[in-house]
Amino acid sequence: MLSRGLPGRGAFKTVRGTKPLIYHDGSLYCSRFDKILKTNDYGETFEQVGRLDLQLSHAGVIGMSSLAQRLLRAQVYRMRVLPNGNCVYIFKGGIYTQRAGEPLAYLCHPIERGSRPISLANRGDELIVFGEYWSNNEREPVHIYGSHDGGITWDVIYSFDARAIRHVHGISYDPFDDCFWICTGDYDDECRLIRASKDFSDLQIVRQGGQGFRFYSITVTEDILLTATDSPIEPNQICLYHKQTDRFDRVAPIENSNFYHCVIGRQAFVSTNAEASETHDESASYVWTGSLDEGGWDHLFSFPVDIPYRISTMPFVPDGLFQFSRVYFPEGDAPDDILVCYGTGLSGFSDVMACYRRDAWQARALAA
């Protein structure tokens, strides 16, 4: 039976006002507006390990309101912990870097086009990259920036020609094949799945063309890329790309576009957005689960959207005012079988981290 509107039910821990970001060396790193915390016990205790020196007007006021942070997109979006101890963050306005042993992260690269990128990936200390993301209605050239000094300085390392793509969605490093995987959008041949060499000297298009190859992000395993389509205008599906055989499978239909997914062992989790659409289900964010090896894709959760999101869909309100309602999963390799979810714009589950043990999510999957 699909669980609706009960995000805390079955969770052994829920924490409000805390966004999980990434697993690193067995710890879960999280953010509370400008503060960076880590926990080794899923939120029973936290240790503050950093803070962003924000270049943001009225940061003190914004930090007191989760609704204001949601409205202004004022949260840490992605984080990477580098082998040299530096931490790199994406926040509205730019890339912030915290040097090893220092308490503050400083703005090292202001973003000139758009409010922030949505991709961040690193190849150890040798290279960390992000791709430009903005509306780009004129289809100007789009750059991928890289840093070879731990996130301190950034330079263009690759450029897509004018009219080639609209913007870069996701970039993921593949430690098994020592390469990067890139997805771009938004329409026709702008939609691409790309394999880039470790230094971006060679990019090869693996799949291209149409909404069926419009992806937002990629989760990498040894043999499979997990992704899902991100289309507001066509039906969406969970997709698996088999790296060794070049086989591409569409394994399950989903209710709306997708941003986030994760893998625990060989069990995959995929969430849907509540994205405004004439045909898609925007009443809730759904979480699906299935085995990368055996399939069996089923609903796990359904979280109804909250009142601010419903207000944002009214005709007199600017599109996307309060962001799409959705479920986010932390990046990185989970150290055990705990499923960690974070809700945005969901009834009773907005700005909340919920943690589920294997027996809880397995029982829900079997009952779905």
Q: 113 vs 10, 94, 107, 124, CA distance in Å?
A: 42, 10, 16, 27
101-105, 135-139, 185-189, 335-339: the lowest-pLDDT one: 335-339
What's the whole-number average pLDDT of the chain?
93
Give pLDDT, residue 58: 85
Taking the C-alpha atoms of residue 185 and residue 139, their distance in angstroms, rounded to an integer, is 11
- 14, amino acid identity: T
52-66, 99-113, 129-143: the lowest-pLDDT one: 52-66
Q: What stretch of H or E contains 219?
A: strand 219-220
Q: Residue count of the chain, please give it.
A: 368
Using the structure block, give the residue that is written with the tokens 């962003």.
52
| pLDDT over 50 at 2, yes or no | no
Higher-confidence position of 159 and 296: 159
> What pTM, to 2 d.p., does this model score?
0.95
| pLDDT over 70 at 357, yes or no | yes
Give pLDDT, residue 210: 97
Concatenate the DSSP letters of all residues of 27-82 into one string: EEEEEETTEEEEESSTTSS-EEEEEE----TTHHHHTT-HHHHHHHT-S--EEEE-
Cα dihedral value 196, 173, 152, 24, nearest 10: 180
Provide the 8-state DSSP code for 161: P
| pLDDT over 90 at 233, yes or no | yes
- pLDDT tens digit sequence for 14-37: 999 999 999 999 999 999 999 999
Higher-confidence position of 337 and 10: 337
- 75, amino acid identity: Q
| pLDDT over 70 at 132, yes or no | yes
